[in-house]
Chain A
């Protein structure tokens, strides 16, 4: 089978997830954590517009007729996830830029008053999460709509959402732990790491349910999941996703939370585990995209 959607699509799926995840992290940190979590909120806001912008650029490159892309925004095809998804990512990207602007230091603000600035941040933070959940999960619906055995899994949108939250949080951890400016405090990182560890457990569970459901399903679907667990995608699945992308970062985060790691190693471990979460998240998109197109009905 010829692969029609290649690595560019994988990059888009991944970056859209990171952006949506970072945005939700930022919104929740602002609404629930307030001043104590200011650094996390700020970094989430600063990161959010960029991965998805890169993804959109790459998506444009993948089009066979890129100058025709405006056609997407001359219509709304309610049955096409790509159609409503395009509107959602357009709105999300625009709002994420506005949200980033509101987080810039005072001297860049034209709104002026700090008070109304804070209000606007909070208003946006209450609205954008819904859009972010849409951006993170519609890609699952998008694949659901294409009649391929591996993509029939109803849990696909949920898997993408959880993976988006996990990779988004990991990106925020990475930047806010490394940055000399507005570096996250220990408590912030601690909580974020805890959330990320929980998301990894959840992701493992979803993958497990998907595989069990798939294997118990019709022959074509069982075969499609077979390609992941023992077929030609098995190396990627077990080694890059389950091993390096889920188990290793979870173990590192667990040790970190139990304070089993000496102070000298804390930073490298934090960086290493969040990098691996991103790495795993990328290959989750990769395997779903490629194994999905490889899978066929018989």
Chain B
């Protein structure tokens, strides 16, 4: 089966430390004021004394049908055969069409280059057999990444065991970040 790279994010394990954002910035030289990933808060839910707050980390969903790729006028936005969505910077003219087309607002205009910028799945790390920086650094082990089609991968094992949800599926993008809200006591071993 073809490789389909994606993320599994366990919201119950996120403590909103924002280390993923710091690690991404350090690894990829993301300019201050912009970010390739984020942690969103649900705000306080419920009523005292039964209150809770859920954190939902995110980044580019590396969609199956990425609108950012189809709208790109120069072919700079591409979906690789392994599913990772990238920008070939030399071809990007900075029209910002992809920014408006992304329903997750996962892209930004890099103020230094004027071009579209986004999560690259840390390609430079994948080539060395490492996990993306945000996954590596996540102290709650909330962020997991890998080949969703490989049954031996951590992400596939998690998805086989726990119910998951994706964001804005009705927009038709086919996002490849799966969220698990259940309590996950143990992260399975895997690729």
| Interfacial residues, chain A to chain B (CB-CB below 8 A) | 1-2, 4-5, 62-66, 68-69, 71-72, 74-75, 77, 79-83, 86, 142, 145-148, 218, 293, 296-297
Known: A65-B114, A65-B115. A72 touches B67 (CB 8 A): no
Q: Which of B97-137 contact A (CB under 8 A)?
A: 97, 99-103, 105, 109-110, 113-116
A72 to B97, CA, bound (A): 13
Q: Which residue of A lies closest to B167 (CB)?
A: A297
Number of interface residues of B (CB under 8 A): 32
Main secondary structure of the interface of B (DSSP, over half): loop
Contacts of B93 in A (CB 8 A): 63-66, 68-69, 71-72
Is B94 in contact with A68, judged by CB distance below 8 angstroms? yes
Determine how close the nearest CB of chain B comes to the CB of A106; give it in whole angstroms: 42
Q: Using known A-B contacts A1-B105, A72-B93, determine if residue A80 contacts B67 with beta carbons closer than 8 Å.
A: no
Query: What is the CB-to-nearest-CB distance from A101 to chain B, in angstroms, rounded to a whole number?
Result: 30
26 A-B pairs in the complex with CB atoms less than 8 angstroms apart:
A1-B105, A2-B105, A4-B99, A4-B109, A5-B100, A62-B95, A62-B96, A63-B93, A63-B95, A64-B96, A64-B110, A64-B113, A64-B115, A65-B92, A65-B115, A71-B74, A71-B93, A80-B72, A80-B97, A82-B97, A86-B73, A146-B67, A146-B100, A147-B67, A147-B101, A297-B171
Q: Is the interface of A mostly helix, strand, loop or mixed?
A: loop
Please determine whether A145 and B71 come into contact, CB atoms closer than 8 angstroms: yes
A contact residues around B17 at 8 Å (CB):
none
Residue of A nearest to B96 (CB): A4
User: Of A80, A148, A297, which is within 8 A of B70 by CB?
Assistant: A80
Known A-B contacts A65-B113, A86-B73; A71 and B91 likewise in contact (beta carbons under 8 Å): yes
B97, A146: Cβ atoms closer than 8 Å: yes
B70 near A79 with CB under 8 A, answer yes
Instruction: Determine the residue in chain A with the shortest Cβ distance to B66.
Output: A147
- Cα A80 to Cα B115 with chains together (Å): 18
User: Whole-angstrom distance between the alpha carbons of A147 and B96 in the complex?
Assistant: 14
A62 partner residues in chain B, CB cutoff 8 A: 95-96
Residue of B with least CB distance to A152? B171
| 8 Å CB contact of A147 from B94, B114, B173 | B173
Contact with A along B55-85 (1 / 0, CB 8 A): 0000000000001001111111000000000
Known: A72-B93, A82-B97. A145 touches B70 (CB 8 A): yes
Q: What sequence of 0s and 1s flags, for each residue 154-188 of chain B, a beta carbon within 8 Å of any chain A beta carbon?
A: 00000000000000101111000000000000000
Alpha-carbon distance A148/B103, docked complex (angstroms): 7
Binding site for A on B (CB under 8 A): 67, 70-76, 91-97, 99-103, 105, 109-110, 113-116, 168, 170-173
Tell me the minimal C-beta distance from A264 to chain B in angstroms: 49
Cβ distance B137 to chain A, nearest Cβ, rounded Å: 26
Q: What's the minimum C-beta distance from B28 to chain A, rounded to whole angstroms? A: 18
Q: How far is the CA of A296 from the CA of B171 in the complex (A)?
A: 11
* B95 contacts across to A, CB distance below 8 A: 62-64, 82
Whether B73 lies near A72 (C-beta < 8 A) is yes
- B99 close to A82 (CB less than 8 A): no
Q: Which residues of chain A have C-beta atoms less than 8 A from B109's C-beta?
A: 4, 64
Residues in A neighbouring B113, C-beta threshold 8 A: 64-65
With a cutoff of 8 Å between Cβ atoms, the chain A residues found around residue B101 in the complex are 145-147
Q: Known contacts A64-B113, A65-B92, A145-B70; can you find 19 more A-B pairs with CB under 8 A?
A: A5-B96, A5-B100, A62-B96, A63-B93, A63-B95, A64-B92, A64-B115, A75-B74, A77-B72, A80-B71, A80-B97, A82-B71, A83-B73, A142-B97, A147-B67, A147-B173, A293-B100, A297-B103, A297-B168
CA distance A42 to B104 in the complex (A): 48
Contacts of A296 in B (CB 8 A): 103
Say yes or no: A145 contacts B67, CB within 8 Å.
Answer: yes
Contact partners of B173 in chain A: CB under 8 A: 147
- Please tell me if the beta carbons of B91 and A148 are within 8 angstroms of each other in the complex: no
Q: Which of A63, A80, A145 interacts with B94 by CB under 8 Å? A: A63
A64 to B117, CA, bound (A): 11
Which chain B residue has the least Cβ–Cβ distance from A296?
B103
Given contacts A146-B101, A148-B103, A297-B103, contact A65 B73 (CB under 8 A): no
B73 partner residues in chain A, CB cutoff 8 A:
72, 75, 77, 80, 82-83, 86
- Write the nearest CB–CB distance from B117 to chain A, whole angstroms: 10
A65 to B99: give the CA distance in the assembly, Å. Answer: 15
